[in-house]
């Protein structure tokens, strides 16, 4: 185990020396670096010092900016380092605010302070390390799950060569429209993810139905329509995908209530699903399918516009037309050349 490196922020030299001696008594502590102010602390953390720290012991009463303001700036700068607030007097309001701002603990400089500090410090570091390992483990599990879903999407596209790349294009269109409509960042990212996974349920549909060149029978249409339900069943085990389930489930609902699988209408339909409905229909129209050739771009746009208020949400249609027709989105044959807007989801 690598020894703990502590940044001690204390303006009183005598208190700093005693704290350093106490901390170094712990076998897990390898080094204590002392600075006298919040400004010096921030400089060290911003790379102007001598390396990374595992934990910060932060006095409340500091010259210039106090411990709370220093902690606020540490959080704002995105430093993932546990901090312990120390003060010479027990102020409940300060303690509450420190914990609220993310401090691991709050210690008052009482008689047994130098005995408590090393124990709390090592405990904070170990808990933080465990939390970080758990986050990394969860992220790995989530990524493995997404990788598995990506394989399933590839299987679907292998079953129906006409839909190859469809999910990616739907995701790009939907993401761009969500950005144009000014939706919150988290909701926008959910819409992008749902676009990639919206047809995952087609893995359960017979290939002969998916690639049938002629008109589908009533039973075959019912079979196709079950892919929304199957999609939710496949995605539900991934707890981190829970927010996108309504989008995937409702992306074939119509604004006038004549869609499937639930017959929802208007604002009853998830906003992300309303966006996906337009993106999905547009890419389907401008793609070659077993039963027809790709529709020219202008004709597809006319169809989208004609469906405003019946099949599609008028607000979504308006944003979609701006995105597709706007500057920066060139046309390649029957396809819109739309690059993915900046996003932190890979």
Beta strands at 83-87 and 335-337: parallel, antiparallel or unpaired: unpaired
Q: Average pLDDT of 239-259?
A: 95
Positive or negative: CA dihedral 194, 206, 255, 163 = positive
How far is residue 137 from each of residues 45, 134, 140, measured CA to CA in Å?
Answer: 26, 5, 5
Residue 214 per-residue DSSP state: S
Of residues 135 and 181, more confidently modeled: 181
Select the more confidently predicted residue: 302 or 91. Answer: 302
Instruction: Decide if pLDDT at 239 tops 80.
Output: yes
Q: For 13-17, which contacts have Cβ atoms below 8 Å and span 24 or more sequence positions? A: 15/59, 15/109
Confidence of residue 163 (pLDDT cuts 50, 70, 90): low
Exposed/middle/buried for residue 237 (C-beta within 10 Å: 0-12, 13-18, 19+): exposed
39 pLDDT more than 50: yes
Examine the pLDDT at 178 and tell me if it is beyond 70: yes
pLDDT at 106 over 50: yes
Question: What band does 337 get if pLDDT is binned at 50, 70 and 90?
Answer: low
Question: The tokens of 57 are what?
Answer: 């012991």
The whole-number pLDDT of residue 179 equals 96
* CATH homologous superfamily of 4-133: Response regulator (3.40.50.2300)
Instruction: Tell me the mean pLDDT in the region 8-12.
Output: 93
**How many Å apart are CA 125 and CA 103, to the nearest integer?**
12
Instruction: Give me the percent of the chain exceeding a pLDDT of 70.
Output: 90
Coil, helix or strand for 8? strand
Closest CA to 60 of 82, 24, 93: 93
State pLDDT tens for residues 89-101: 767 788 888 888 8
- Do 183 and 174 contact (CB within 8 A), yes or no? no
The three-class DSSP label of residue 240 is helix
Helices (H), the chain: 13-24, 38-43, 67-76, 92-100, 113-159, 166-180, 185-197, 207-210, 218-225, 227-235, 245-250, 271-285, 297-306, 314-325
Quickly state the pLDDT bin for 23 (edges 50, 70, 90).
very high
Distance CA(136)–CA(130), nearest Å, equals 10
- What is the domain partition of the chain in residue ranges? 4-133, 160-337
Query: 78: cis peptide before it, omega within 30°?
Result: no
The whole-angstrom separation of Cα 219 and Cα 128 is: 56
Band the pLDDT of 330: cuts 50, 70, 90: very low
Which is higher by pLDDT, 335 or 107? 107
Neighbours of 4 (CB within 10 A): 22
User: Quick one: pLDDT at residue 243?
Assistant: 94
Distance CA 323, CA 41 (A): 46
How many Cβ atoms are within 10 Å of 92's Cβ, its own excluded? 8
Closest by CA position to 259, among listed 272, 274, 245, 244: 274
> What's the CATH code, domain 160-337?
1.10.3210.10
Structure tokens at 343: 């996003």
Pairing verdict, β 83-87 and 330-332: unpaired
Residue 53 φ/ψ, nearest 5 degrees: -120, 150
At 315-328, the pLDDT tens digits run: 999 999 999 987 44
Confidence grade of residue 143 (pLDDT, cut at 50, 70, 90): confident
Q: Is the pLDDT assigned to residue 186 strictly greater than 50?
A: yes
In the chain, the percentage of residues whose pLDDT exceeds 90 is 51
Residue 85 pairs with which residues in a beta bridge? 58, 106
Region 2-23 average pLDDT? 92
Q: What is the DSSP string of 169-192?
A: HHHHHHHHHHHHTT--HHHHHHHH
- Residue the block writes with tokens 């927010």: 243
Label residues 192-216 b or e (16+ Cβ within 10 Å = b): bbbbbbbbbbbbebeeebbeeeeee
For the ranges 68-72, 143-147, 226-230, the one whose mean pLDDT is highest: 226-230
Return mean pLDDT, the chain. 86
pTM score of the predicted model: 0.63
Distance of CA 79 to the CA centre of its chain: 19
- What is residue 332's predicted lDDT score, i.e. its pLDDT? 44
CA 346 – CA 146 distance, rounded (Å)? 10
Across the range 194-211, mean pLDDT stands at 90
């Amino acid at each position: 185990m690598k020894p703990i490196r502590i940044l001690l922020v204390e303006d009183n030299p005598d208190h700093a020396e005693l704290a350093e001696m106490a901390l170094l008594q712990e076998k897990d502590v390898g080094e204590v670096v002392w600075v006298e102010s919040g400004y010096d602390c921030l400089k060290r953390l911003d790379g102007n010092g001598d390396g990374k720290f595992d934990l910060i012991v932060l006095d409340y009463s500091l010259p210039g900016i106090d411990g709370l303001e220093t902690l606020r700036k540490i959080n704002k700068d995105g430093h993932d380092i546990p901090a312990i607030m120390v003060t010479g007097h027990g102020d409940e309001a300060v303690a509450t605010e420190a914990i609220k701002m993310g401090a691991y603990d709050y210690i008052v400089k009482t008689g047994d302070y130098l005995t408590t500090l090393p124990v709390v410090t090592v405990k904070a570091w170990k808990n933080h390390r465990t939390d970080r390992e758990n986050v990394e483990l969860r992220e790995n599990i989530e990524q493995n799950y997404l990788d598995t879903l990506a394989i399933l999407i590839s299987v679907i596209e292998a079953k129906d060569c006409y839909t190859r790349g469809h999910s990616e294009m739907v995701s790009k269109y939907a993401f761009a429209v969500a950005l144009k409509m000014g939706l919150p960042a988290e909701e926008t990212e959910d819409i992008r993810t749902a676009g990639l996974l919206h047809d995952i349920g087609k893995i359960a549909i017979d290939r002969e139905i998916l690639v049938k060149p002629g008109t589908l029978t009533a039973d075959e249409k019912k079979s196709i329509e079950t892919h929304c339900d199957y999609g939710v069943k496949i995605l539900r085990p991934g707890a981190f995908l829970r927010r996108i389930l309504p989008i995937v489930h409702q992306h074939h609902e119509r604004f006038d209530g004549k869609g499937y699988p639930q017959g929802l209408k208007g604002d009853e339909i998830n906003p992300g699903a309303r966006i996906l409905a337009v993106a999905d229909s547009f890419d389907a129209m401008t793609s070659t399918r077993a039963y027809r050739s790709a529709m020219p771009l202008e004709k597809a746009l006319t169809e989208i516009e004609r469906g405003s208020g019946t099949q599609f949400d008028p607000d979504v249609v308006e944003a979609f037309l701006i995105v597709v027709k706007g500057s920066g989105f060139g046309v390649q044959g029957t396809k819109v050349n739309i690059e993915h807007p900046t996003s932190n989801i890979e």
